[in-house]
Structure 1
């Protein structure tokens, strides 16, 4: 993972709560795809053990709805070293993974509003897709 980068890209028009939920969900997807993103466990000087966060910086960037769709299109051609996690807006109302999987299979994500996208892969690939995007503030 030395030459890897990751980025989370969200629509800044979302409310703070939806932004937080979207970022958390996308980050979980990246960790699921690449468990090596975690640096494992560590303990503090008192012996308290806990799980670490990502071993790579995780910038949270912003993009409007049209830019998110363009980013999705640009990710169509990628290799097995990459991860693409997509959070479509319709997922907000779904509570069960089985329902979500059924809904995704019925839909064309290029025609759906997206709340966010997360990417992980070779640094050059991630930067080529996200280098012009601004940090979420």
Structure 2
């Protein structure tokens, strides 16, 4: 798994609570589908089992909505790259059915991207995100 890279890019202009929520949503999505992202369960010295956590570091990078939209466009045409996005439409939806209905009437260029998650070959992900700073 060492040749894989996993990053999350968040809108630096979001309030902290929304940034944390967006990161959690994106991490959950990637953790579900990313082969070998999660490590095996581990046992402590007391014999208790702890569920496996990510084996990959997850840098949280900063951009703005426009930069994330640009990254989405670039990343969406890359083969063998898992891409998950989170939009203000999703953020404002209380139920998944509402989210699906709202997305069905919006063109991609109408969406406001608030976060994006990428999982792929290290060199590919670095090429796409290497110039972005860490979220602070």
> TM-score normalised to the size of structure 2?
0.92
Query: What is aligned with 1:100?
Result: 99
Q: CA deviation at 1:11?
A: 0.5
Equivalences, count: 136
Confirm whether residue 90 of structure 1 aligns to residue 89 of structure 2: yes
Contact 2:76/2:83 (8 A) holds in 1? no
- 1: CA distance between counterparts of 2:120 and 2:58? 12
* CA RMSD in angstroms, aligned pairs only: 1.4
Q: 1:39 to 1:94 in 2, by over 3 A?
A: same
- 1: CA distance between counterparts of 2:36 and 2:100? 25
Which structure 2 residues correspond to residues 57-76 of structure 1 after superposition, within 5 A?
57-76=57-76
Q: CA deviation at 1:35?
A: 4.3
- 2: CA distance between counterparts of 1:76 and 1:92? 21
**Higher mean C-alpha displacement, 87-96 vs 113-122:** 87-96
> SS in structure 1 opposite 2:13?
coil
> SS in structure 2 opposite 1:134?
coil
- 2: CA distance between counterparts of 1:49 and 1:93? 37
Contact 1:11/1:64 (8 A) holds in 2? yes
For structure 2, the 5+ residue unaligned runs are none
